[in-house]
C-alpha cells in the first residue's frame, strides 16, 4: 500500500472518532496518532476498530487515557477492506473531497510522489505541517492549508483517472485540476 492509501484509512478512523487535532508519524512500518483532543469515547472507537475482537465498554476506570493509538499495516489493510465494502454500497457525496480522509489521502499522495521515507504530521484546524525525511537522510518540511490539500487531491484524482498524466514533481506549480473535455 502507499502512503496515500494508509493515510486515507487512518483519516477514516479519525473521522469516526471525531478527532479534529492530532499528530501522526511513522514508526517503522507502523503509524502512531497522538492527540490531546482524543476523548475516552474516541479512543475506545479507535481501539475497537483496531482490535475488533475485544468487546469492552469505555468505563470510568480508564482514568488515564494514553492519547495515542498505533496502526499496524495489518490493521490498516483490514480497515481498508471494511471501508471498500462500505464504499461499494454507498455513492460518494459531493462534500467527500473535503473530508479529513480525502485530505490525508492527498497529503499521502504528495508524500508518495516526493518519495519520502518517514514523516511527522501536525494537523490543526488552521493548517497542516509536515516534517519529512528522504531515504538519503535529508529532511525538509512543508505547511499546507485544507484548500491546498483539496487542490492536490483534485490533481491526484485526475492523475488516477488514467486519462492524462501530469508532471507531478512540483505540486506547487499550477496544474489543470479537472479532466479535459474530449
- Contact residues for 166 (Cβ-Cβ < 8 A; gap 6+): 155, 158, 159, 175, 176
Calculate the alpha carbon distances from 29 to 3, 26, 117, 170, 171 in Å: 11, 7, 10, 27, 26
CA dihedral of 17, 56, 26, 119, whole degrees rounded to 10: 20
pLDDT of residue 91: 62
Q: Is residue 26 part of a domain?
A: yes
Identify whether 176 is part of a domain. no
Quick check: is 59 in a domain?
A: no
Which cell goes with 142? 512543508
Q: Where does the pLDDT of residue 6 fall: very low under 50, low under 70, confident under 90, or very high at 90 and above?
A: very high
Does the residue 170 lie in any domain? no
**Is residue 180 in a domain?**
no
Beta bridge partners of 25: 32, 120
Is residue 177 included in any domain, yes or no?
no
Each residue's pLDDT tens digit, 75-88: 999 999 988 887 77
Counted domains in the chain: 1
- Whether residue 131 is contained in a domain is answered as yes
Q: Read off the pTM.
A: 0.75
Give me the mean pLDDT over the 152-173 stretch. Answer: 48
What backbone torsions phi and psi does residue 26 show, to the nearest 5 degrees? -80, 145
**pLDDT tens, 56-72?**
554 444 433 457 899 99
Q: What is the pLDDT of residue 77?
A: 93
Compute the average pLDDT of residues 78-100.
75
Q: Please name which of 44, 43, 41, 32 lies closest in space to residue 67, comparing C-alpha atoms.
A: 43
- pLDDT surpassing 50 at residue 119: yes
**What domain range includes position 80?**
3-54+64-160
Judge whether residue 171 has pLDDT over 60. no
171 part of a folded domain: no
Amino acid at each position: 500500500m502507499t502512503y496515500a492509501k494508509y493515510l486515507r484509512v487512518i483519516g477514516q478512523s479519525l473521522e469516526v472518532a471525531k478527532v479534529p487535532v492530532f499528530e501522526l508519524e511513522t514508526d517503522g512500518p507502523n503509524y502512531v496518532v497522538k492527540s490531546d483532543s482524543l476523548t475516552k469515547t474516541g479512543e475506545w472507537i479507535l481501539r475497537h476498530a483496531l482490535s475488533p475482537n475485544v468487546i469492552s465498554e469505555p468505563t470510568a476506570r480508564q482514568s488515564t487515557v494514553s492519547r495515542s493509538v498505533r496502526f499496524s499495516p495489518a490493521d490498516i489493510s483490514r480497515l481498508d477492506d471494511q471501508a471498500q465494502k462500505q464504499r461499494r454500497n454507498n455513492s460518494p457525496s459531493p462534500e467527500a473531497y473535503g473530508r479529513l480522509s480525502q485530505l490525508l489521502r492527498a497529503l499521502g499522495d504528495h508524500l508518495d510522489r516526493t518519495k519520502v521515507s518517514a514523516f511527522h504530521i501536525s494537523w490543526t484546524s488552521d493548517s497542516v505541517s509536515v516534517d519529512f525525511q528522504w531515504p538519503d537522510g535529508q529532511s525538509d518540511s512543508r505547511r499546507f492549508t485544507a484548500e491546498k490539500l483539496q487542490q492536490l487531491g483534485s490533481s491526484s484524482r485526475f492523475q488516477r483517472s488514467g486519462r492524462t498524466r501530469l508532471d507531478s514533481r512540483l505540486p506547487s506549480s499550477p496544474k489543470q485540476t479537472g479532466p479535459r473535455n474530449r
